[in-house]
Amino acid sequence: VTIGVARERAPGEKRVAATPETCKKLVALGAVVQIERGAGSGAHFPDQAYADAGAQLVADQAAAYGGADLVLCVQAPDAASIGLLKSGAALVGSLQPQADPARAEALQARQIVAFPLEKLPRTTRAQAMDVLSSQAGMAGYKAVLIAAQLAPRFFPMLTTAAGTIRPSKLLIIGAGVAGLQAIATGKRLGAQVEGFDVRPEVREQIESLGGKFLDLGVSAAGEGGYARQLTDEERAEQQRRLGEHLKSIDAIVCTAAVPGRPAPKIVSAAMVAGMKPGSVIVDLAAETGGNCELTRPGETYEQSGVTIAGPLNLASSGAMHASEMYARNLLNFVGLFVKDGAIAFDWNDELLAKTVWPERAAA
Ligand code: NAD
């Protein structure tokens, strides 16, 4: 089996789908790995390290994809790149085929066996392949660092000759994978951290990280461990209590999401107006519209004394470790169907059957 990996084409994307470490393991599985020169440079993996790992360096994307039975990527290739794939090849990455009709069409035209990893069931067995989780961890970590950087305050408490500085109060909205990492990071920086989520079971997880669960009296556990949408009444009650509480908060990191939907709007313009001057909001949900009504995706600006940041693709800003984790996720997934140097899909394996796109008719 020949595996192709190219430099990511999306603007600002520094991650790479295979590292020297995972290339070595793919080669050990009997694969020939074709990697485009410079593919790892954004994440600081030099070409020589790939060569030392047994990968074959090739000049460009066409050479990496040409003849490859399997292509690994971070973000979905555009339609032109998909045109370089061998007909019938397998493609693994964060593909979001439904997000772009041209992409979906290109994939189908070339009969690509696509595995959009965001469709992977979130079972225990799938954890080692879960790119949503590994990348959310980096994003949550970076979001808190950005909040600390933008804040005109210290995060920790300081007792100094110039008097005592009170610790910053940090609120993390949404305590999934990114939110829990944000809570842990905020604690390490010495902030007083609170976390809040509509899934009641996260209280324990927040507390185990040393955070405090902010109880707004609303619970909305949905299917498959995800949140469901709130009813209008639930939302109104949540909003009223939250607005009151935010008057005492110095920094907010927003991470709330509902799969397949725009981000829930949780922090209103009126709530921002009620916050203390010098407060900071870092809205990780900016990619899907933001949890704060005032978030401008990709921008940082000040509104009535509050700095609001809507960073995009934070995982890429930690490209080295994000790639290490992403590439291991991919390696583990590829291990489901590459054996003895050949591809063999077992469609009875739910991790393959539920992830493949387009969906296969049941056998
Ligand atoms: P996500 O990115 O979809 O959402 C982030 C968080 O926002 C979630 O915790 C959600 O409950 C919360 N949220 C949604 N609407 C909200 C609202 N109106 N107000 C406040 N919070 C709101 O979630 P995720 O981080 O990808 O994962 C969610 C959960 O799935 C995890 O915490 C975990 O329990 C489970 N999970 C399981 C596995 C596994 O077993 N393989 C892997 C990853 C995640």
Q: How far is the CA of 180 from the centre of ligand 1 (A)?
A: 10
Residue 253 Cβ contacting ligand 1 at under 6 Å: no
Mean pLDDT of 156-174: 98
Confidence of residue 363 (pLDDT cuts 50, 70, 90): low
pLDDT tens digits along 250-285 = 999 999 998 888 999 999 999 999 999 999 999 999
Contacts of 240 (CB under 8 A, 6+ apart): none
* Interatomic CA distance for residues 290 and 231, integer angstroms: 19
Residue 264 Cβ contacting ligand 1 at under 6 Å: yes
Candidate of 226, 229, 246 to mutate for ligand 1, largest count of ligand atoms within 8 Å of Cβ: 226
Q: How far is the CA of 160 from the centre of ligand 1 (A)?
A: 40
Phi, psi of 238 (to 5 degrees): -60, -45
pLDDT tens digits along 211-241 = 999 988 777 776 776 777 778 888 888 899 9
State residue 219's pLDDT score.
72
Q: Residue 200 pLDDT > 60, yes or no?
A: yes
Q: Which of 59-68, 127-136, 226-235 has the lowest mean pLDDT?
A: 226-235
Residue 257 Cβ contacting ligand 1 at under 6 Å: yes
In this prediction the pTM is 0.94
Contact 272, 242 (CB under 8 A): no
Q: How far is the CA of 31 from the centre of ligand 1 (A)?
A: 35
* Interatomic CA distance for residues 351 and 336, integer angstroms: 8
Q: Which residues are catalytic?
A: 122, 127, 130, 133, 226
